[in-house]
Amino acid sequence: MRPLTLILAGLAVAGAAKIGLALMEEPRSASVIPAETEQTAFVSAASAATSTEPAPAPKPVAAEPLQCDAPEDLLASIQQERALLEAQKDRNAQHEAELDLASETLALEQQRLADLKTELEGLLAKVEAAHTSDVDRLVALYQNMKPKDAAAIMNDLDIEVSVMVLGTMNERDAAPILAALNPVRARAISQIILERSKLPGDQRLDDIRL
């Protein structure tokens, strides 16, 4: 068996040598593959081989810890906010106190004015009553005089007093006194009494001659 093996091996070597010579005789451009083409084919084959392999699972990324202020800064911020709230509360309380004081002062002033008005009205009522009483007494005195004597006094009396007395008298007692007065003064008194019955805006007292 050994010589047969050697014979077969020799035939195989001879055949390989013939094939190699034949290949060497062919043009180089047709038989030789560029090195770059072989490398590209090799890389493509390697990529195809690796593409069939499953991609490795992504590694879990650890979550970044949340950034927060330091406890000291947070406490300082809370204390500052609390101080601002307390200051605002104090200002509001002071403002309310000022409003209460102003309201109380206004109420006291209104009460004082009301009391003063009541007192003034009382005084005016007394003055009016006294004035009315005096006027009535004066009217009674002139009524008891003779018309000629009363007219003689009224000719030299203040015009306002004469108007007040004659305007208060009844017509029967005032007419004889008015007739005995100086004609100019009688006309002036008559005109004043007439104008006094009108509204203040309608009164015309500038052209009265005394």
pLDDT in tens, 46-93: 444 444 445 555 555 545 554 555 678 888 888 888 889 998 999 999
Model pLDDT for residues 88-140, shown as the tens digit of each residue: 999 999 999 999 999 999 999 999 999 999 998 888 888 878 777 888 888 99
Domain housing 210: 145-210
Residue 89 lies in a domain: yes
Query: Please, is 145 exposed, middle or buried when counting C-beta atoms within 10 Å of its C-beta (0-12, 13-18, 19+)?
Result: middle
Do 150 and 123 have their domain in common? Answer: no
Residue 162 lies in a domain: yes
Do 120 and 152 have their domain in common? Answer: no
Q: How many domains does the chain have?
A: 2
Q: Which of 98, 129, 160 is the last residue of a domain?
A: 129
Reference 189, options 141, 142, 154, 144; nearest CA is: 154
Residue 58 lies in a domain: no
Residue 50 lies in a domain: no
Residue 70 lies in a domain: no
Residue 202 lies in a domain: yes
Do 104 and 160 have their domain in common? Answer: no
Query: Has residue 38 got a pLDDT over 50?
Result: no
Q: Ranked by mean pLDDT, which of 36-40, 48-52, 180-184 comes out on top? A: 180-184
Residue 62 lies in a domain: no
- Per DSSP, helices labelled H in the chain are 2-25, 28-31, 35-51, 71-144, 147-156, 159-168, 171-180, 183-196
The two three-digit tokens of residue 62, written as one number: 């650890």
Residue 159 lies in a domain: yes
Do 172 and 204 have their domain in common? Answer: yes
Q: Which of 95, 129, 163 is the last residue of a domain?
A: 129
**Interacting residues of 158 by C-beta distance below 8 A, sequence separation 6+:** none
